[in-house]
A and B are shown apart, each in its own frame.
Chain A
Amino acid sequence: DQQVKQNSPSLSVQEGRISILNCDYTNSMFDYFLWYKKYPAEGPTFLISISSIKDKNEDGRFTVFLNKSAKHLSLHIVPSQPGDSAVYFCAAAVQGAQKLVFGQGTRLTINP
């Protein structure tokens, strides 16, 4: 039972344009969501998070949007840069439970 789903295995975007990565979840108890970026053969790097009391959180070029009624979150990267090419994982948790549930990841490729 996949509680967190990233339905797009890959995404290709032109440099300078907006990248939008999507994530859906099924467990309505989740109230904390995170995005991680991962390069090959490296550990994931924390990017940005959002609590369920908010619907948007912004950090520089990265913005995460949360739609609780649709159980959907998205990560927007603008403008996209070549260094953004990586696999992006969304993760969800019930705050206080200390267990993250990860999606399958989306491979983002930024084309020059």
Chain B
Amino acid sequence: DGGITQSPKYLFRKEGQNVTLSCEQNLNHDAMYWYRQDPGQGLRLIYYSQIVNDFQKGDIAEGYSVSREKKESFPLTVTSAQKNPTAFYLCASSIGGLVNPDTQYFGPGTRLTVL
């Protein structure tokens, strides 16, 4: 039963604390992505990774960090430098490489609330 899992579904943190959101996929996809969704807005790309041990900044990378040590996992850390961290965070994956077109598939999301 292949898919993308994100945990936890809801996360609460105090202001000033770093927090790490988990994303795991067993689809054997090379590429993984992190998006953020705010009310009334589309999804905005935070970071993406096309292959293990490599990742690139998206459109709103400031205040976030990622790692890609394993093909299956792409955790996102929301640091205290992120000015507006409360949002719905979505992880996605795609086959990647030279596949063309390359459709992205999404996990269920994590809602982060910073108090």
Please report the C-alpha to C-alpha distance between residue A105 and residue B6 in the assembled complex, in whole angstroms: 22
Q: Which chain B residues (1-36) contact chain A, with CB distance < 8 Å?
A: 4, 6, 9, 31, 35
**B residues contacting the other copy or chain, number (CB 8 A):** 32
How many residue pairs bridge A and B at CB < 8 Å?
66
A93: B residues at CB distance < 8 A? 101
Q: Does A96 contact B (CB under 8 A)?
A: yes
B5 CB → nearest A CB, Å: 10
Question: Can you pick out 28 interface pairs between chain A and chain B where the beta carbons lie within 8 Å of each other?
Answer: A6-B42, A9-B40, A32-B101, A34-B103, A36-B106, A41-B88, A42-B108, A42-B109, A43-B4, A43-B91, A43-B108, A44-B106, A46-B106, A51-B101, A89-B42, A95-B100, A98-B31, A98-B94, A98-B96, A99-B45, A100-B43, A100-B45, A102-B42, A102-B44, A103-B42, A104-B40, A104-B42, A105-B40
Q: Is the Cβ of A43 less than 8 Å from the Cβ of B103?
A: no
Q: Is the Cβ of B107 less than 8 Å from the Cβ of A41?
A: no
| Apart from A34-B104, A41-B88, A105-B40: 7 A-B pairs, beta carbons within 8 A | A42-B109, A51-B101, A98-B31, A98-B102, A100-B43, A100-B104, A104-B42
Residues of B whose CB lies within 8 Å of any CB of A are: 4, 6, 9, 31, 35, 40-45, 48, 50, 58, 88, 90-92, 94, 96, 98, 100-109, 111
B76 CB → nearest A CB, Å: 14
Other-chain residue from A41, A42, A46, A96 in contact with B103 (beta carbon distance below 8 A)? A46
Please report the C-alpha to C-alpha distance between residue A99 and residue B102 in the assembled complex, in whole angstroms: 10
A49-B101 contact in complex given A100-B45, A102-B43, A104-B40, C-beta closer than 8 Å: yes
Q: Is the Cβ of B111 less than 8 Å from the Cβ of A41?
A: yes
Please report the C-alpha to C-alpha distance between residue A102 and residue B44 in the assembled complex, in whole angstroms: 7
Q: Does A4 contact B (CB under 8 A)?
A: yes
The chain B residue sitting closest to A43, CB to CB, is B106
A45: B residues at CB distance < 8 A? 106
Other-chain residue from A6, A44, A46, A96 in contact with B43 (beta carbon distance below 8 A)? A44
